[in-house]
Structure 1
């Protein structure tokens, strides 16, 4: 007759794990070694096989439950159990009764050596290549010692031994293709019971043990859990930890491991990510450039101080400027432009605007924008951005110019669209409108997006030169300083000319020095002779 037996969760190599899937249903007929449960812990995600064969009568767990060794999982109806077998011989009255045990051993059984096999565990792939055999015949190996290196599509891994012993045979060689279950080694294990015929142990006893059952003839291949597989030689981590590291694009080699025997745990990865986020928020670390953190100084001990919080714009722009400065290889090209005729024309136009009550004022910046737009049309590399992977150049077919505007809360860069096709009056009106919005703090994200190149003009404030920082993802920026009257030699005599300093900073990954010199010279030509702008 049949008998109901309990299947308890075996040793899973962790204190607790969560059930992610139940692979059987009530009424299903299951076989020994059939997977019945999927669990995931800090170290691994694994399937749990059954040690019982029979019909599932009850399922005592559900998805999401946290379980540990000994947790009741299933009640299984087992047919033809040992209870129905003929009674064994009863010992005589003067013979001592045998002590109850999971398996009946012969009194002559003696401790001796035994050959056991080690096979490839579940390594998360269909097939991998053996890159190195790390032991030789005759070597004594210890538990968790790396014995094999393999490499697949997803990772390079070392396979450790699940038990100690002496290597008797090596069944693989470098270059072989192996998969889960492939035989690796035959190992002689000391202190094992001599191979004697044994009676099958009761199922309830096996339920609390590992799912591998040894037979009288030979031990089956020892299966390693995924948590026993290490990555890249000395780095040991479970598949779930490796997956988390890949999601964050992290190198496990740089993450301090705190797990048993040097394993990297999920908590190690989480701690590392939190530390990097804090470092980035504080402005330290240099984006991987190994920049020393700023020293902590108690300034109050030197005198009175006041703590003033950064403005919202400063908090946003500061990290961006820092990133642009340390990640873009800047080159700055300097020049001076004779804007004597340009300035005379500008004043004439402003006088006309006043007479006609147009309500606008033309600034030198308008002509700078037109000259830059014309130069961008002539040199398309300046009107581009690097792709995210740095492997290609994105050439823009539109020409929009950003202008840096000084506001009480910090610097902002609104963008004037389609500058090449707009006239001087149109651009002047638009600059006036966006400048008012900027100073009132009413610019939207759309107002500051889509720039081809930026102009930063400090001419109204002062200074002779400065080196502007490229406003990524743009690849160039033009700095304009204060104009001044200077004597200029015309071949016969010195003449007083109005000169304005220019500084062109550009990304040297995209633009070389010769092209940079040509670009700023072209702008010089346009500004020194306005007639060239209409050609």
Structure 2
């Protein structure tokens, strides 16, 4: 029995397919990832909700996909729940299909300009199926079989060669021809530009735009009804063409000094770059720095971890989990930091909940998953949640809902050498805390220098909402809580 696998509710209206992880005819298991999708905030793998043999994949890389869209169809025999029997059935179906090949067109490459049939259509012997062309010829390719079109293996503007498989049909005829297609019509192009344009579905306005922009319509992939070229198709092609030309001109500046390499940013990197740039331009950032003594806090953390280890408890408290808890208490005391400006910038929305985002760097880009209701969680809970979120981010398992609802963000660079930095505010939040690597420094205390473990903190804030006095008070309150963790109980 054929079943459809659809995109579940991801919490995001529109996502983009960046990878297809399975193939037609492949046996898949329940919960096995089948595609990878991206949005402006996350990248995630979508698993199958049942096992079976893939009959047909209905999506392509680059497609936009929405909740409820069909991803693929699988063959799942519910009567005996046997994947092997299902596979045999699928193989038998495939044996009956006949491959239709491009006949001998020489060594030349040609493009598919028109597809004259659709899947599941009944075709007759000698019926034209596709039209292919190059600079000098237009060929109509017809079938020697009659039957039903099961799969069209090409798209408009695809390149084909002699013996390229362009279609699969289910034929009622038993006779097997060595050559199963032929060139029905060969129209020589006397006027190349005129005939190509006549063979392309585009309105006079689109053709006029193409002439002004000096664009050959044959190079454009149509997306309109019945393969018509739309204005959007034209503008998209022109934009991509300009970008490619700009890169060639831009790279030529550097190539004269040596070799260069072009690296294409993934979707997450592109969107993160755009968001960070907009946040930096639209929010008046101010950053204040401070160093805080974490000597006693670190001793307490190490002591507790040793106790957990002796009791064989799989618990490891991190410094970041303490700081998450401390920041939630600071947000409670200074509510302007737990706020967002309205779209009109005329009202301040104070949030009564305390959710903190953690910036995590991965190979795909920067993600900011959120820990919810921090005030009502203990340090142990926060450590476990943080560990799970980091693993999900590194393994591309974050759900879009993991990335929403943040009030305040922490960016932790403590594992790298360095002191202070300026973190960029994660709008619509109004502040972000940067953590750098702690170092032992001599601190003058009681008429002598004492070695202390000092942690650099950097607070960036939106100056439209928060003034300098509030910011330094906020930082000093964090330092007070760090100096003696018992202060959060008061």
| TM-score, reference length from structure 2 | 0.49
Structure in which a larger fraction of residues adopt helix: 2
Q: Rg: which structure is higher? A: 1
Give me the TM-score of the superposition, normalised by structure 1: 0.45
